[in-house]
Amino acid sequence: MFQWMPESAGELVSLKVVGRLTDADYFDTLPKLIAVAEREGCLRLVADLSDFDGVEWQLAYEQSAFGKPHWDKIKRIALVGTQNWAVLAARIAADLAPADVRIFEAAKYEAALDWARSDVPDPVEVPLAP
């Protein structure tokens, strides 16, 4: 299930993802996210995946197009959690939306919020010379 966190305000939505996601979770939450994107002009999402336990994959596949006209309104996605779910979700999010996507360790929730609220670009990594 998705739990809306109290830090959610304006274009920032912070969700804690708990347990296994179901049809009802998607059909309840995605229209609310779209409403934020439409009302605010963009969406900044923080998703805490530290208690996430999976998703109904058929549902995820069928829902991949749900909200597609709004994907370009997503500015940043901060995924909190060091589990494999965060890495998988980051890869999927990066492929679906033109948003900046970043993974934060579970203990770095506040840093994830700060980054999601910010417009400061991440530093470009330059390889060191030999």
In this predicted model, what pLDDT tens digit does every residue of 3-54 receive, in sequence order?
A: 999 999 999 999 999 999 888 888 889 889 999 999 999 999 999 988 988 8
105 has pLDDT over 70: yes
- Write the pLDDT tens digit of every residue in 53-89: 887 766 555 555 545 666 778 889 888 986 676 666 6
Predicted local distance difference test score (pLDDT) of residue 93: 66
Cα–chain center distance at 113: 11
Give the residue from 51, 65, 15, 62 showing the smallest Cα distance to 36: 15
| Domains defined for the chain, CATH in brackets | 2-117 (3.40.50.10600)
116 vs 60 pLDDT, higher one: 116
**Amino acid occupying residue 12:** L
pTM of the model: 0.80
Per-residue pLDDT, 15 = 96
**Unique residue bearing structure tokens 């500015």:** 75
